[in-house]
Amino acid sequence: MYLEHFGLDHKPFNLVPDPNFFYLSPNHRKALTMLEYGLMSHAGFTVVTGEIGAGKTTLIRTLLSKIGNDCVIGLINNTHESFGDLMGWVLDALEIESTASDNAGRYRDYINFVIEQHVAGRRVVLIVDEAQNLTVQSLEELRLLSNVNIDSDIFLQLILTGQPELVDKLNRPELKQFAQRIGIEFHLGALSYPETQKYIEYRLEKAGAKQRIFSNEACAVIFCYSEGVPRRINNLCDFAMVYAFADDRTFIDAALVQEMIKDKQSSRVVYNALSDKPEVARVRKSLLEQFNIQLR
C-alpha cells in the first residue's frame, strides 16, 4: 500500500521471518556464532532461547543458508502434541520412508538412516523449533534418539530453539540426563534503544529507502512499547507507516507513533502496553527524559 509513497522496493516490516532482512545485532551475532560453533564442534545438543518474536526462527533460517552439503537437515516446526508424535515428526523431517506400524520399527528405520548417512560422510542435524511445546516425555525421547552417538562419533546433532520456559522445563529433575548433554546454550535477548533504531534503519535501507523515515524520537517511542523485541518493532513500524501514508506524510515523528498506539490501545485487538518491569521502566524513563517525550 505505502511502498510507492515512501519510495520503497519491498515491505520493510513483515511479521513473517525473512533472512534477507535479518539484522545482526551484537546479541544475534553471538547467537548465530554459537549455533555455527555448535555444528563445527560436533556438539550433541545446542539450545537457544528467546522471547516470542526475538528472531529465533529467522536465526535458524539464516543458519540453514550457511550449512554445507556434509549435513542432512531435518526441521520440526509443529511441536504441539495434537500434530502427532515425536517419532513421526522425526521421520517426516528427515524424509525417512518407513512402513513400520509401531515405534520400535520406526526407531529402527531412523537408526539405519542415521548410520547410512554417517557411512556416506554426512552428519544428521535435527532442528526443533518452538521446543518449549514439547512434553517432558517427548524431550526424553529426543535424548534417547541421541544414543546413536558413540564416544567421539557424532551421528546426530540436535538444535532446540524455544521460549524461556524451555529452560525451566529442561531444569526439571526428570530431564537431568538431557540437561547434562547440552554442549552449547544461549539466550537471545531483546534489542537496546540504539540497536532498535539501527534495526529500523537497516530494514528500511534493505527495502530501498533513500532517506530517513523515522525520527529519533519516533524510534524511542517504538522502543518503549516494543521493549526491543523485533516482531513487536515490526508491528508498530508497519502501522506507523500506514498512518503516515493516510496523512500523506513521508516522515514519521513521535506524535504520529503515539497517535497510532493510542488507536491500537482503544481497539483492544493488538495492544502494546508499557511494561511494569522495574529494569524496563528505568530504561524507559531515562530515554524519555533524554528526548523530552511525554507518553500519552
Specify the residue for cell string 533460517: 61
Do 200 and 183 belong together in one domain?
no
Model pLDDT, residue 198: 97
Residue whose C-alpha is closest to residue 240's, from 260, 254, 255:
260
Mark whether 101 and 127 lie in a shared domain: yes
Question: For the chain, what percent of residues have pLDDT higher than 90?
Answer: 60
Model confidence at 161: pLDDT above 90: yes
Q: Which of 147, 167, 188 is the last residue of a domain?
A: 188
Q: What is the DSSP letter of 61?
A: H
User: Smallest Cα–Cα separation from 153: which of 96, 114, 193, 203?
Assistant: 114
Higher pLDDT, 184 or 279: 184
Q: Are residues 32 and 71 in the same domain?
A: yes
Q: Work out the pLDDT band at 147, boundaries 50, 70, 90.
A: confident
Q: What is the pLDDT of residues 191-242, one digit of tens each?
A: 999 999 999 999 999 999 999 999 999 999 999 999 999 999 999 999 999 9
Q: Are both 37 and 179 inside the same structural domain?
A: yes
Work out the average pLDDT over 72-91: 83
Does 36 map to a domain?
Answer: yes
**pTM, to two decimals:** 0.85
Residue 196 sits in which domain range? 1-16+191-291
Tell me the residue type at 216: N
Residue 296 forms part of a structural domain:
no
| CATH number of domain containing 163 | 3.40.50.300
Query: What is the pLDDT averaged over residues 57-83?
Result: 85
Phi, psi dihedrals of residue 49, rounded to the nearest 5°? -115, 165
Judgement on whether residues 91 and 217 belong to the same structural domain of the protein: no
Domain-embedded: residue 251:
yes
The residue from 188, 215, 236 where one domain ends is 188
In this prediction, residues 7-30 reach a mean pLDDT of 92
Written as one letter, the residue type at 228 is: G
Q: Are residues 175 and 103 in the same domain?
A: yes
Q: Classify residue 40: in a domain, yes or no.
A: yes
Amino acid present at 64 = L
Q: Buried b vs exposed e over 189-198: b needs ≥16 C-beta within 10 Å?
A: bbbbbebbbe
Task: Name all contacts of 168-172 with Cβ < 8 Å and 24+ positions apart.
Answer: 169/132, 169/134, 169/136, 169/139, 170/47, 170/139, 172/136
**One domain, residues 105 and 216:** no
Query: Domains in the chain: how many in total?
Result: 2
**Residues 60, 147 within the same domain:** yes
Q: Residue 266: inside a domain, yes or no? A: yes
Clarify whether residues 153 and 209 are in a common domain.
Answer: no
Domain boundary among the residues 137, 162, 188 is at 188
Asked whether residue 48 is assigned to any structural domain, the reply reads yes
pLDDT of residue 78 exceeding 90 = no
pLDDT digits (tens, 9 = 90+) for 82-128: 666 888 899 999 999 988 888 889 999 999 999 999 889 888 999 99
The span from the CA of 214 to the CA of 260, in Å, is 14
Q: Which amino acid is at 287?
A: L
**Residue with cell string 508499557:** 274
My answer on whether 38 and 146 are in the same domain is yes
Which of 40-49, 185-194, 215-224, 287-296 bottoms out in mean pLDDT, i.e. has the lowest?
287-296
Average pLDDT, the chain: 88
Q: Same domain, yes or no, for 72 and 211?
A: no
Among residues 13, 51, 1, the alpha carbon closest in space to that of 234 is found at 13
Q: Is residue 196 part of a domain?
A: yes
What is the three-class DSSP state of 75?
A: strand
* Closest residue by Cα to residue 284 from 226, 216, 231: 226
Crossing angle, helix 216-226 and helix 254-267, to 10 degrees? 30
Whether 21 is covered by a domain: the verdict is: no
Q: Is the pLDDT of residue 269 over 60?
A: no
Do 174 and 266 lie in a common domain?
no
